[in-house]
Amino acid sequence: MGKDGEVAEQSGFSSKDYHDPPPAAFIGTDELTKWSFYRALIAEFIATLLFLYITILTVIGYKSQSSTDQCGGVGLLGIAWAFGGMIFVLVYCTAGISVMYAHDATHVTPRTWSAADPAYYNRYGGGANELADGYNKGTGLGAEIIGTFVLVYTVFSATDPKRNARDSHVPVLAPLPIGFAVFMVHLATIPITGTGINPARSFGAAVIYNNQKAWDDQWIFWVGPFIGAAIAAFYHQYILRAAAIKALGSFRSNA
């Protein structure tokens, strides 16, 4: 304890001294002249391509095998592992270059696959998200809200610099909890909605598959993730990080 105190005094830094950096511009035009921007674009493209190749292949392969053998294929557990495992691998590989969320631009791999073998692609659903039979719209919407909340809450918690400064003695390998969050959400919601938790992932597949039911259910995969992400952001910022309490305290002190 004494040694830690001496180190803190000598460095003049304490975990409680952490302050958030000023907000960055939403669109920084100066980035267009930097190689780091284009490097991030390339990294996102490759990560998305790999993510969709593995996951869509897993989904369609499972449907193909289970259509003739109920015990064939990897099962829902295997699909969940494919999504969660690829997120873990790609976030680990790419996070140092770009933020990397490989659900985005989901249309790239489905488009290639559909052009190569459209009959096979369409026969097994093209990896598109649809509300499963036996569930109403409200249940599907709730599943997407909760699933997105779990994912976004995990991302915020695992990558929070304030937490890393305060709890530096607790090692956090961010891709691991993020990947496990994706895995657990898929286990819970694949039987209900096929698991969207990101509008781009659902929209891209729906565009290529172009099925009426996929379009009828599409709003669920937009409204649900937006609501879930907003709730997670509010909870993390104003409850866990106590931003509301700090703002109130600052207001009182100024008054």
Residue 71 lies in a domain: yes
Owning domain of residue 243: 33-254
1 within some domain: no
Distance of alpha carbon 16 from alpha carbon 86, whole angstroms = 35
244 or 189, higher pLDDT: 189
What predicted TM-score, i.e. pTM, was given to this entire model? 0.76
CATH, residue 94 = 1.20.1080.10
Q: Is residue 21 part of a domain?
A: no
Cβ distance 178 to 89 under 8 Å? no
236 burial via Cβ count (<10 Å: 0-12, 13-18, 19+)? middle
**Dihedral of the CA atoms 120, 124, 130, 134 (nearest 10)?**
150
pLDDT of residue 10: 46
Number of structural domains (the chain) is 1
Q: What is the pLDDT of residues 39-91, one digit of tens each?
A: 988 988 888 888 878 887 888 888 888 877 777 778 889 999 999 999 999 98
Q: Is residue 7 domain-resident?
A: no
Q: Is residue 18 part of a domain?
A: no
Each residue of 219-243: pLDDT tens digit?
Answer: 999 999 999 999 999 999 888 877 6
